[in-house]
Amino acid sequence: MASSHALRLHPLLFSAAALPAPATAAASARGRRYSLAVVRCSSAAQALKIKSIPTKPVEGQKTGTSGLRKKVKVFQQENYLANWIQALFNSLPPEDYVGGTLVLGGDGRYFNKDAAQIITKIAAGNGVGKILVGRNGVLSTPAVSAVIRKRQANGGFIMSASHNPGGPDNDWGIKFNYSSGQPAPETITDQIYGNTLSISEIKTADIPDVDLSSLGVVSYGDFTVEVIDPVLDYIELMENVFDFQLIKGLLSRPDFRFVFDAMHAVTGAYADPIFVEKLGADPVESILNGIPLEDFGHGHPDPNLTYAKELVFTMFGSGAPDFGAASDGDGDRNMILGRRFFVTPSDSVAIIAANAQAAIPYFQSGPKGLARSMPTSGALDRVADKLNVPFFEVPTGWKFFGNLMDAGKLSICGEESFGTGSDHIREKDGIWAVLAWLSILAHRNKDKKVGERLVSVEDVAREHWATYGRNFFSRYDYEECESESANKMMEHLRDVDGSAVSKQGLRFVFTDGSRIIFRLSGTGSAGATIRVYIEQFESDASKHDLDAQIALKPLIDLALSISKLKDFTGRDKPTVIT
């Protein structure tokens, strides 16, 4: 098989132009029931004093796949963050922020508290009317998107490096979302970068640090900061999208066991109020690592088979629960597991799309359209075909889905990198994906009596493959390789057919539809991460049982040999296999 692939490969370049258009947080989440009693309200009547601080450009402030991500120590350099924030205001039309409202939140990682004060003061210094900030600066990425939309804000800041580790020696990041709740498009991020290269002045308000620890409103002249509950708006939205009674019926069954791993990251603040308090999951067994910590408990908050170790151990061990899930640093990714069964994210989005109309009230008229990022497997394409709805392929990164959603053409979409979501907001949404899966299982099992065999996660996936065929998929990540050798490897691959450079990566598509894709990550903060994506379709149900690593072995071997990956990088094993 490998040699026939080798003879018929057609390297294609992917071009964007071709496309259609902390402990305290958990405690405060619990405390929200009493929150109305502690609302502060104060104002300092005098006019706001604005200071102008001279500054110099700093190199390297170009945003990647999702915002600006660097080591904390880099962000702690004088004016490093302030420069970027001021460059952002210099890039936006004044009518988009002067007198307007911006949302501010983050995943609770180290440096967020300092950053929240810096951002608030520069926003005030540039004429922003109001900052809506999550208590203690906490808001998950999907919650920021939800709050922007619900409160009709002009945009918002997300303080997070997402799945990258946190703490004084690790990563920090910042991202700006626009009024639809969607990550700023490249036109804006390119302008911000341009402005970081010529910046000479930072405008900041001369106000004291704002107390973000309790709910309330405080004003300085015309500028207001409102500290909001990080969970309430988001829960309300989830209750509108899903049938909570249906899910509660499943989670309170004595014969269904559920576990969610918050990885000591932001969803720790959301998991208990949603899964336990609202939906009746077991308060003792169901939440793992539920206390958000500034360094994620020294963990790597990336919900995959390598880094979500505790969950994987639980779900693949004896006496495993029926359903397991995890989310990342900022709560936008998800991993779905059944008992001793991994649902690959490319399959997960396809399965959610195929079952959405039946199981999720928000989609009762059926999805309007479906979309995936380029390296994500074609499983979703087959569902779009069958449902007879429009289908779109976009480059890697959630910012490319928003316009299609705003145009009413897209309801459900996903990325192979554990990102799944819909047009209820403009970000991928980890808890949404978990609730979507629980809805599917609840729907399938709603008439099952206790003691009857329940339809499992694995059953749902196998049925899906039997209907649509199986797109075997795997991704190999080689993290923190030496940048120069990674670039040389990509150049070597381009030389395979002499094609031009494309920042979206390089893909080899075979006549049977199999694909090998090579990409360099745009979210790392040190060295280069090489991603190799491998996909092969199998319609024959008798072969669906195969382990993906076995089914894909010939293609994987071919990918490693044509890229000469080992020669270039010296790596003989990937850091992460999905």
Q: Which is nearer to ligand VG1, 101 or 396 (CB)?
A: 396
- Give rounded-to-5 percent helix, strand, coil for the chain: 40, 25, 40
Comparing CA positions, the residue from 118, 112, 156, 114 lying closest to residue 138 is: 112
Comparing CA positions, the residue from 18, 26, 572, 20 lying closest to residue 293 is: 26
Task: For residue 497, give both structure tokens.
Answer: 């057919």
Which one of the listed residues 162, 377, 474, 563 is annotated catalytic?
Answer: 162
State the binding partner of 419 from Co ion, ligand VG1, none, CB within 5 to 8 A by kind.
ligand VG1
In the region spanning residues 134 to 193, those forming contacts with Co ion, defined by CB under 5 A, are: 162
Q: Which is nearer to Co ion, 263 or 389 (CB)?
A: 263
Distance of alpha carbon 36 from alpha carbon 566, whole angstroms: 59
The footprint of Co ion on this chain (CB under 5 A) covers a number of residues equal to 5
Q: Which of 523, 525, 563, 578 binds ligand VG1 (CB under 6 A)?
A: 523
Cβ count within 10 A of residue 8: 12
Q: Which is nearer to ligand VG1, 172 or 398 (CB)?
A: 398
**Site track 332-371 with Co ion (rule: CB under 5 A), x = hit:** xx--------------------------------------
Comparing CA positions, the residue from 150, 171, 147, 169 lying closest to residue 159 is: 171
Comparing CA positions, the residue from 179, 520, 160, 133 lying closest to residue 328 is: 160
Q: Which of 419, 421, 554, 574 binds ligand VG1 (CB under 6 A)?
A: 419
Q: Which is nearer to ligand VG1, 83 or 141 (CB)?
A: 141
Q: In whole angstroms, what separates CA 565 from the centre of its chain?
A: 28
CB contact at 8 A, 547 and 472: no
State the binding partner of 522 from ligand VG1, Co ion, none, CB within 5 to 8 A by kind.
ligand VG1
**Site track 366-395 with ligand VG1 (rule: CB under 6 A), x = hit:** -------x----------------------
**Contact flag: residue 381 with Co ion (CB under 5 A):** no
**Contact flag: residue 429 with Co ion (CB under 5 A):** no
Comparing CA positions, the residue from 201, 202, 160, 195 lying closest to residue 177 is: 160
Task: Quote the least distance from Cβ 104 to ligand VG1, whole Å.
Answer: 17
Q: Which of 411, 417, 420, 514 binds ligand VG1 (CB under 6 A)?
A: 417
Beta strands at 171-178 and 201-205: parallel, antiparallel or unpaired: unpaired
Comparing CA positions, the residue from 175, 270, 274 lying closest to residue 230 is: 270
Task: For residue 53, give both structure tokens.
Answer: 């601080």
Task: Quote the least distance from Cβ 63 to ligand VG1, whole Å.
Answer: 11
Comparing CA positions, the residue from 181, 178, 183 lying closest to residue 395 is: 183
In the region spanning residues 483 to 522, those forming contacts with ligand VG1, defined by CB under 6 A, are: 521-522
Task: Quote the least distance from Cβ 574 to Co ion, whole Å.
Answer: 21
Task: Quote the least distance from Cβ 416 to Co ion, whole Å.
Answer: 14
Distance of alpha carbon 375 from alpha carbon 556, whole angstroms: 15
Task: Quote the least distance from Cβ 290 to Co ion, whole Å.
Answer: 18
Q: Which is nearer to ligand VG1, 66 or 563 (CB)?
A: 66
Element (H, E) at 104: strand 101-106
In the region spanning residues 530 to 559, those forming contacts with ligand VG1, defined by CB under 6 A, are: 531
Spatial CB neighbours of 316, under 8 Å, sequence gap ≥ 6: 340
Q: Which of 130, 135, 300, 333 binds ligand VG1 (CB under 6 A)?
A: 333
Task: Quote the least distance from Cβ 375 to Co ion, whole Å.
Answer: 17
State the binding partner of 397 from ligand VG1, Co ion, none, CB within 5 to 8 A by kind.
ligand VG1
Q: Which is nearer to Co ion, 372 or 443 (CB)?
A: 372
Comparing CA positions, the residue from 353, 359, 358 lying closest to residue 372 is: 353
Task: Quote the least distance from Cβ 331 to ligand VG1, whole Å.
Answer: 9
In the region spanning residues 162 to 221, those forming contacts with ligand VG1, defined by CB under 6 A, are: 162-163
**Contact flag: residue 330 with Co ion (CB under 5 A):** yes
Give residue for tokens 């059953």.
459
Q: How many CA atoms lie within 13 A of 80 on its CB side?
A: 21
**Contact flag: residue 328 with Co ion (CB under 5 A):** yes
Q: Is 168 helix (H, G, I), strand (E, B) or coil?
A: coil
Q: Is 26 helix (H, G, I), strand (E, B) or coil?
A: helix
Task: Quote the least distance from Cβ 205 to ligand VG1, whole Å.
Answer: 30
Piece of 149-157, 283-291, 326-334, 336-344 that binds ligand VG1 (CB under 6 A): 326-334
Task: Quote the least distance from Cβ 203 to ligand VG1, whole Å.
Answer: 29
**Contact flag: residue 328 with ligand VG1 (CB under 6 A):** yes
Give CA angle at 569 (566, 570), nearest 5°: 60
Q: Which is nearer to ligand VG1, 60 or 366 (CB)?
A: 60
DSSP state for residue 514 in the 8-state scheme? -
State the binding partner of 523 from ligand VG1, Co ion, none, CB within 5 to 8 A by kind.
ligand VG1
CA 275 vs CA 33, 80, 102, 330, 434: distances in Å? 16, 39, 29, 18, 10
State the binding partner of 417 from ligand VG1, Co ion, none, CB within 5 to 8 A by kind.
ligand VG1
State the binding partner of 140 from Co ion, ligand VG1, none, CB within 5 to 8 A by kind.
none
Task: Quote the least distance from Cβ 67 to ligand VG1, whole Å.
Answer: 7
The footprint of ligand VG1 on this chain (CB under 6 A) covers a number of residues equal to 18
Piece of 73-81, 250-258, 362-370, 396-404 that binds ligand VG1 (CB under 6 A): 396-404
The yes-or-no answer on residue 252 being catalytic is no
Q: Which is nearer to ligand VG1, 269 or 460 (CB)?
A: 269
What DSSP string describes 234-268?
A: HHHHHHHHS-HHHHHHHHT-TT--EEEE-TTSTTH
Give residue for tokens 């911000």.
192
Distance of alpha carbon 117 from alpha carbon 213, whole angstroms: 13
Measured in residues, the chain has a length of 578
Q: Which is nearer to ligand VG1, 65 or 145 (CB)?
A: 65
Strand partners, 100: none
Distance of alpha carbon 36 from alpha carbon 49, whole angstroms: 31
Question: Which residues lie near ligand VG1 (CB under 6 A)?
Answer: 65-66, 162-163, 328, 332-333, 373, 396-398, 415, 417, 419, 521-523, 531
Question: Which residues lie near Co ion (CB under 5 A)?
Answer: 162, 328, 330, 332-333
Active site residues: 162
